[in-house]
Amino acid sequence: SALPEHLQKTIQRREKVLGPGYTLIYKEPVEFVSGHGAHLIDRDGNDYLDAYNNVPCVGHAHPHVAEAVARQMTRVNTNTRYVQEALVDYAERLLATFPEELSKLSIACSGSEANDLAMRVARFHTGGEGIIVTRWAYHGLTREVASFSPTLGAGSPLGPNVRLIDAPDPRLVAPGSTLADHMRRQVRAAIDDLERHGYRLAALITDCAHSSDGIFTDPPGYMRAVVEEVHAAGGVYIADEVQSGFARLGESMWGFSRHDVLPDIVTMGKPMGNGMPISGVVFRPEVCEEFGRNVRYFNTFGGSSIPVAAGAAVLDVLERENVQQRVLECGDALRVGLREITKDSPYVSEVRGAGLYVGVEIVMDRETLEPHRALAEDVINDMRDRRILINGTGRWANTLKIRPPLAFDSADVTRFLETFAEVAKNRL
């Protein structure tokens, strides 16, 4: 079907005026004018099921968040150089969701800024410069963070101080070994190679859902050995919870908790304000104290009254609506349904993930696991044509990325699975 004329015109105008780097999803791009829960509505009133966007975590246009922001807008917005009781309340509430050792919070505006600050603190604290990340990780867009975001590709080179390790894909583990052992050995080799090149370790940073590597969440527990290795080399472990945080993985608020490890620094963003730009860095105090004494860090919008009002309202909803429980139930139902639909498909090697973060890997052959990017793209576009939004991820973009707002409920699961079954009948 041809795109509506109005949409075509807007796309042409967009190409004239927008700067570099803007891309649209889908062969037939979409524009939305409103939303509620996990639903988005286009100009003609059509309802799309959003199974992709994680920023509107408690649901599109959630009234409680909207009211909290609007109310604050009509009162005042001040920055962190004025006393703000609401900021202190928020920090106390957010920190209460962490182990007690993680007891200091800095607020910024984006995940990139959070990771930028986290890495500056890690370098300052350890005196090292070496950084370890997974092979196809994304951590953000500043020059520093881009230098350890291999997913950005050749146009954005990695730093000479950066080493890559495999994402935790249990299928890479040699027979007789364990994922913990496999990961620990890779981290050890990366540390040795950094040292050979004159770099002491500053940090290992991992996305706790390994979103851009292709979504790898399991088995829980392997990170313990890895973090021990990092600490033994004098480095710190930064858990990037930009994707996995705020109950996304279902069992707890934070992805690292599934591994029973204590990170030195935790970063978060995207869902934190349900759309207001707010991000955070949580520290063990001993890691950030010296930095605080020596380096001036002031973030104009970070921690100002309006984004903090949004952040507090998100925590209200997460508590009141028992979101975590729903995430667990709906996420399990989604994976069970997807496995049932795809169990005989020669093109689906794995349905994986935790909570409402689901990956469906599309391959040429279930034995060789050779990626099938074109088929994944066809499925994504077929789903969009049936008004369900998903996308792809991983090195070859061949893993379907199903990551709805946490407002996704059991009726949404049913609609998703019914539509996916239709698409699968034709394609998989």
Q: Nearer Cβ to ligand PMP, position 43 or 395?
A: 395
Which positions ≥6 away from 228 have C-beta within 8 Å?
Answer: 184
Strands annotated E in 20-109: 32-36, 39-42, 47-50, 104-108
Least spacing, CB of residue 323 vs ligand PMP, in Å: 20
Q: Nearer Cβ to ligand PMP, position 72 or 115?
A: 115
Least spacing, CB of residue 229 vs ligand PMP, in Å: 22
Least spacing, CB of residue 206 vs ligand PMP, in Å: 9
Answer for the pair 278, 107: CB distance below 8 angstroms, yes or no: yes
Nearest residue to the partner ligand PMP, using Cβ: 111
Tell me which amino acid residue 266 is. V
Least spacing, CB of residue 384 vs ligand PMP, in Å: 20
Strands annotated E in 199-343: 201-207, 236-240, 265-268, 279-283
Query: Can you tell me the distance from the alpha carbon of 54 to that of 408, in angstroms, rounded to the nearest whole number?
Result: 11
Tokens describing residue 354: 């935790």
Least spacing, CB of residue 2 vs ligand PMP, in Å: 32
Angle, helices 179-196 vs 223-232, to 10°: value is 20
Least Cα distance to 327 among 238, 405, 212 occurs for: 405
Least spacing, CB of residue 181 vs ligand PMP, in Å: 25
Q: Nearer Cβ to ligand PMP, position 46 or 156?
A: 156
Q: Nearer Cβ to ligand PMP, position 54 or 84?
A: 54
Bridge partners of residue 32, in order along the sequence: 42
Least spacing, CB of residue 114 vs ligand PMP, in Å: 7
Q: Nearer Cβ to ligand PMP, position 209 or 348?
A: 209
The binding site for ligand PMP (CB under 6 A) comprises 110-112, 115, 138-141, 207, 211, 240, 242-243, 269-270
Helices (H), 197-264: 223-232
Least spacing, CB of residue 125 vs ligand PMP, in Å: 20
Least Cα distance to 123 among 50, 210, 62, 200 occurs for: 200
Q: Nearer Cβ to ligand PMP, position 207 or 412?
A: 207
Measure the CA angle with vertex 186, ends 138 and 350; round to 5°. 60
206: which DSSP letter?
E
Q: Nearer Cβ to ligand PMP, position 169 or 240?
A: 240
Measure the CA angle with vertex 245, ends 244 and 249; round to 5°. 55
Q: Nearer Cβ to ligand PMP, position 230 or 276?
A: 276
Torsions phi, psi for 321 (to 5 deg): -95, 10
